[in-house]
Structures are given as structure tokens and as C-alpha cells.
Copies of this chain bind each other. A is one copy, B any other.
Amino acid sequence: MSAAGRVAVDAVGGDHGLTVVVAGAVQAARRFAIPVTLVGPETEVTAELGRHETTGLDLSVVHAADVIGMDEHPAQAARRKPNSSIAVAIREAKEGRAVGMVSAGNSGAVMAVALVLLGRIPGVERPAIASTLPTLKSATLVLDLGAVTDPRPQHMVQFAWMGHVYAERVLGRPSPSIGLLSNGEEASKGNQLVQEVFPLLAAEKGLRFHGNVEGKDVPLGTVDVVVTDGFTGNVALKVAEGIASLTTQLIREELTKSWPRKLAALTLRPAFRAVRNRLDSGEYGGAQLLGVDGTVIIAHGGSSETAIANAIRVAAEAAARDLSATIADTLRRAAESTTRASATGTPPAS
């Protein structure tokens, strides 16, 4: 049992409970050869694991007595349950027995516990939730998706830099373009926050700021990274998921209206599955809590077995990229560059 690439998984988080998470962990161990530690009530987790064929797979169980429910108040639950599966899994990562953790549980509680146990990366005032969303081209990273509902302008600049590092190191996009989500492309558009953030991003050296982007630019893949506040980002993400699901439901309704349609639809089943997979957020493996000093992946509460397996893969990949050190370095250099620019009176790039 080594910590190399090992991912700790909150075994009891998520709408579908233990069964789906354990199956996802087994899938990750088999498909991606990732060692997994399942964290939760030991007897139950072990029993569930016993239902799977796990010969040759590196799967272990670590006991956690408490479970934080999906509806519990995040901060309160985090305080009252120091031995929750979330906290124990994060401690596995913090203390080096795992390289990162995954939870499909109460995301507010994951954030609260991660912030306390792992702390922030130097230079990051507020961690952000970042996830890639499907686009026509490949994928766009969007942050923040709900960690900070009322960020200050400088928090958004930190989001941009964290997105820059993630896009470069995890998505493999050299010099990634950064867009600011707004209600129009023109520099004059935006609410007050966006109008304050725009000139700050334009002045950051080394950041390829594209300018404002609109909601439609997310699925178009206009930029590599879309920066927004956590309120707007969360609404946008859930609208996107809702519309994708509405579209596939409308198609299903139409395709089952008559026998000839049903037959034709049968032929096209693999095509529809391919579309669903390309749109399915589960395929993208959950969101990363960027800015805490460690690898924390927040999977969708409704994650399927495959979504959990993908989240575990993303955790292992992100951990291997050493994002924390790079983010700290990048933010330090950005701060120095800003200080130098104001000290020497160099006008900021526009």
C-alpha cells in the first residue's frame, strides 16, 4: 500500500450513497490502475467492497465514524463532526497517505473542511471551484462555480491566474486565453464587479486576457478559461446541465411517438449515447477546489459510477501536476510584477 498516486475517496458522499461510490472506486482501480482508499464506516464499506471482484486491485478502507448529510449546514457540520468521512479523507491527503481526495458529498462541507485542514495556497485569498464544461471544440475551464458568491475584484484576478495554471498544466494549453463572463463582449459591458475586474485583468502581465465573453461562448469554446463570480458561475452551470437534460428528454419524447420512429431511433442509439457522453458532466470528472493546498475534487452529488471513477482519475492527474507550488509561484510573480510596475511607474498594458 503506497501513497504514490493513491486517492482517498469519501465513500458515503453523494445522492446515490455507498453502492455507487464503491463501484466507481473499483472501476477507477481497474480501468486506470489507481490505488484507492475508501473512507467511511468500516463495516459497511468493507461489506460493499466484498460484493465486487477486486483481486489484484489496490483498494483499502479507512474508518470514519461520522457522515455529513447533503442537507446539513456546511460550516456547522464541519465543526461538529471532526471524524466525518470528508474530514478523514482530507486528512489522508494532508498527511501524505494519499495524493488527493474525492467527495460527491455536501460540497459546502468539503470546502469548509478543506480550508481548515489544508489551508490556502500563499497568494490565494479565496479558493474557487473550477470545472471543465463541454464545448464544440474540446473543453473550457470555468471558475468560480459556487465557492465565492460575492468575490472582490482581486479574488477574480486570483481566479484568472489559477485558471491559467490549471489550463496550462492539466489541460495542456500553452498560454491559455482567459475570458471574463459578461452580458456582452464590449469592454463597457458588465455589472459593477465585471467593470472593476476588466481593467485589472487587462493589466496583468503574462495573462492572455481575451476580454469579455458571453454565456454562449462557454459552449462555443471561445476561450480556454472563463472567469466569473461563484453566484453567476453556479447559475450558468446549472442552466447548462438543465438545458442539456431538457434537450435529450425532448428528443426521447419525440423519438418514442411512433413505431417507425422507435425503430429508426434504435439504429441511432450509439449516436445518441455518444452525444450524451460528450455533454455529460460526469465524463469530465467533477470540479476541483483550486486554491487550497492539496488536491480536492468535488464530484456532482448525482455522480454515476463512471463519474466517480473519472473524478478519481482527475484527482490523480491533478495531484501529479503539483498545482499548488505552481499557483503559489505564479501568484508571487504576478504580485511582484504589479509592485514593480507601480514602483517604476510603468503603465499597465491595456
Contacts and interface: CB of A to CB of B under 8 A. Distances in A.
Interface string A204-223: 00000000001111111000
B232 A218 contact: no
A135 B239 contact: no
Interface of A: 134-136, 146, 149-150, 181-184, 190-192, 194, 214-220, 228-232, 234-251, 254-255, 257, 260-261, 264-265, 267-268, 271-272, 274-275, 278-279
A239 to B, nearest CB: 4
A7 to B, nearest CB: 27
A215 B234 contact: yes
B242 A244 contact: no
Contacts of A136: 246, 249-250
A231 B268 contact: no
Given A215-B238, A236-B239, A230 B268 contact: no
Given A150-B191, A215-B242, A219-B243, 4 more contacts: A183-B230, A215-B240, A219-B242, A250-B279
A232 B268 CA distance: 37
**How many copies of the shown chain assemble into the complex?**
2
Contacts of A191: 149-150, 229, 231
B244 A247 contact: yes
Contacts of A245: 216, 219
A255 B216 CA distance: 23
A149 B184 CA distance: 11
A215 B244 contact: no
B215 A247 contact: no
Contacts of A260: 267
A149 B183 contact: yes
25 contacts: A135-B246, A146-B183, A149-B191, A181-B235, A183-B235, A214-B235, A215-B235, A215-B236, A216-B245, A219-B239, A219-B245, A228-B235, A232-B232, A232-B235, A235-B236, A247-B247, A247-B279, A250-B275, A250-B279, A251-B271, A251-B275, A254-B268, A254-B271, A255-B268, A265-B268
